[in-house]
């Protein structure tokens, strides 16, 4: 990786889940810093729109590429890594951002198949990304991988189903990888975002009791931006953090100092008060 004035000029970076939200925000930050950027996700339409934004933002003569890939499919994530390697012959940074949840509600009403899909997307998807990216990095003797976790990993969010356990699994997989890969000078960390303004949480950021509760839990009481998370991802991938590995870093306005938010105002009308305390 050629580094000029703390930039990422000439680096090659892969961002999973890079078609929107935090993933796209991270990809834009890398492109502006002069990196070759490959994004992957399940929607080609979304990826194509993201590629247009990335090319408009990119600095220098860089390659912007996309791969349609489901991170739970090993062959597809291996293909995404191979595409990201092409511009330089190696891979300098990865942000494993693909994740999400199909579960929101009481555990006694949980859809078991939705639980399994959510766990698979978050934990297995991150593991497969690390598996294939780290193999390239270890051969080169350098690289940085960043998992995108959540404050729901460190602070219990009632009625969040598989999301919190899935994000906690991301943190743990990243820490295991950090220990194993340190001998090859490959660093692995994770970021735990708080409430960030993306389309997925528009029903919260639009206002109401749940947003009010989030604000009450934050010492710096504002909704985060994708740029807040991208700045930390950029730091962790860049040359400024070469002695930092195995860390799960909260970027959340201090929310992790208090408690998880309450979604009662949204869920009680859907499930009823009894269901929220486990009666089915």
pLDDT tens track for 46-80: 999 999 999 999 999 999 999 999 999 999 999 99
Element (H, E) at 76: helix 74-85
214 is catalytic: no
User: Does some domain include residue 273?
Assistant: no
Report pLDDT for 102: 96
What CATH number corresponds to the domain at position 168? 3.40.50.720
- In sequence order, which residues have a C-beta less than 8 Å from that of residue 196 and are 6 or more positions away? 21, 22, 223, 224, 225, 226, 228, 229
Catalytic residue among 163, 214, 263, 271: 163
User: Does some domain include residue 136?
Assistant: yes
- Cα of first residue to Cα of last residue in the chain, in angstroms, is 56
User: Does some domain include residue 5?
Assistant: no
Report pLDDT for 258: 98
193: which strand partners? 251
Band (pLDDT 50/70/90 cuts) for residue 95 is very high
Rounded Cα–Cα distance for residues 9 and 56 (Å): 16
Band (pLDDT 50/70/90 cuts) for residue 7 is confident
Band (pLDDT 50/70/90 cuts) for residue 2 is very low
User: Which whole-number Å values give the CA distances from 206 to 115, 152, 178, in the listed order?
Assistant: 27, 21, 38
User: Does some domain include residue 118?
Assistant: yes
Nearest to 152 by CA among 50, 29, 39, 261: 261
* pLDDT over threshold 80, residue 5: no
User: Does some domain include residue 257?
Assistant: yes
Band (pLDDT 50/70/90 cuts) for residue 266 is very high
* pLDDT over threshold 60, residue 6: no
The residue-averaged pLDDT of 203-232 equals 97
Rounded Cα–Cα distance for residues 242 and 55 (Å): 28
User: Does some domain include residue 238?
Assistant: yes
Reported as a single tens digit per residue, the pLDDT across 143-170 is 999 999 999 999 999 999 999 999 999 9
Total structural domains within the chain? 1
Beta strands in 134-234 (DSSP E): 143-148, 186-193
Report pLDDT for 137: 98
Q: Give residue 220's domain range.
A: 12-268
* pLDDT over threshold 90, residue 91: yes
Give the CA angle between residues 103, 264, 192 to the nearest 5°: 55
How many helices (H) and strands (E) in the chain? 12, 7
């Amino acid at each position: 990786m050629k580094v000029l004035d703390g930039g990422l000029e000439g680096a090659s970076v892969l961002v999973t889940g890079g078609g929107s939200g935090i993933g796209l925000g991270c990809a834009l930050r890398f492109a502006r810093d002069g990196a070759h950027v490959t994004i992957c996700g399940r929607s080609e339409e979304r990826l194509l729109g993201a590629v247009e934004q990335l090319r408009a933002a990119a600095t220098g003569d860089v390659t912007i590429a996309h791969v349609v890939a489901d991170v739970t499919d090993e062959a597809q994530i291996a293909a995404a890594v191979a595409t990201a390697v092409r511009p330089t012959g190696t891979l300098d940074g990865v942000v494993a951002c693909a994740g999400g949840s199909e579960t929101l509600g009481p555990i006694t009403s949980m859809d078991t198949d939705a639980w399994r899909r959510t766990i698979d997307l978050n934990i297995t998807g991150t593991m497969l990304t690390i598996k294939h990216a780290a193999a390239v990095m270890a051969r080169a003797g350098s690289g940085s991988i960043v998992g995108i976790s959540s404050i729901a990993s460190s602070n219990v969010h009632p009625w969040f189903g598989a999301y919190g356990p899935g994000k906690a699994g991301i943190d743990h997989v990243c820490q295991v990888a950090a220990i194993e890969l340190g001998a090859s000078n490959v660093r692995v960390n994770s970021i735990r975002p708080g409430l960030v303004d993306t389309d997925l949480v528009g029903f919260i950021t639009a206002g109401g009791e749940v947003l009010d509760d989030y604000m009450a839990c934050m010492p710096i009481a504002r909704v985060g931006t994708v740029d807040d998370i991208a700045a930390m991802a950029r730091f962790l991938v860049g040359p400024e953090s070469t002695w930092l590995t195995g860390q799960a870093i909260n970027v959340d306005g201090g929310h992790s100092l208090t408690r998880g938010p309450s979604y009662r105002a949204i869920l009680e009308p859907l499930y009823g008060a009894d269901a929220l305390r486990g009666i089915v």
